[in-house]
Amino acid sequence: MPQAKIAVIGGSGLYDIEGMKDIEEVDMLTPFGVTSDKIVVGKLGGVGVAFLPRHGRGHRLLPTEVPYQANIYALKSLGVERIIGINSVGSLNEAFQPNDLLIPDQLIDRTRLRANTFFGEGIVAHIPFGEPFCPSLSQLVYQSAKDSGATVHKGGTCVVMEGPAFSTRAESMLYRSWGVDVIGMTALPEAKLAREAEICYAVIACITDYDCWHRGHDAVTAEMIISRLRQNIDTAKQIIKLAVGRVAEKRDCDCATALSTAIVTAPDVMPAAQKKKLDLLIGKYLEKD
């Protein structure tokens, strides 16, 4: 099985980066099902990198249908320690314009139909999530985006909605009144599951529209999003290449030990089947017989 230290979750064409070598496609079956699609693994500047198309090739999966648990578990199985998500978002802040990039630092969860934890069924854990994105990785991605020449903003709040329909104008205005900066459909539960898997997680939010609140601009459409994402794909590739080349060998954040104080259930009462299912995540914290 090939190994990777950093992963990119986004569109299916992102792995086509100049300098990528030893490329292979991997089918992954996990205890949480199959991944969105085959994972493309290769070397970029000597660093193992994995690419996973979140919605499947050809964009077949609704945001609600994405197998988030399987995706994060599979990347953990490959040795991934850092994930960069490429997400399309609508702006709720006039200062953040279409075609700008945002590296968010906060989240509001408005999803309701998605499995958002690996735990349950006899094993309880409560991860710290006050800082939902890894500060170290977010800073690295921000600097890489800045150096690429992109118009990028550091910090902001993203509200994640269930979809697949876009917001009503009343919802859009409500989120603006909360001080939310952008709205999307996929950063959650990815961020929560990545934290449970002790993987650093950061997002490059590609602003494609003004949602539907701005009277001076057309309301968001799927066609608008796809068109603007295509315009940004080369920039995203450049940022990824810069970021991968700057990743430190060792992590200096708390993401790597997020479960160290989170597991509540005593090992001796954990169901054997569930303990085995979660061994990849919790095994190092359980007393060995």
What are the catalytic residues? 209, 211
Please name the residue ranges forming H helices in the chain. 68-77, 135-147, 169-177, 187-196, 222-246, 272-277, 279-282
Q: Partners of 47 in the beta sheet?
A: 44
* CA-closest candidate to residue 203, choices 287, 106, 90, 280: 106
Q: How far apart are CA 39 and CA 26, in angstroms?
A: 5
Question: What's 268's DSSP letter?
Answer: G
Tell me which residue has tokens 């994995």: 50
The angle that helices 222-246 and 135-147 make with each other, rounded to 10 degrees, is: 100
Beta strands in the chain (DSSP E): 6-10, 20-26, 29-30, 33-34, 39-44, 47-53, 82-91, 101-103, 106-110, 152-154, 157-161, 182-184, 200-209
Six-digit token pair at 137?
């990785």
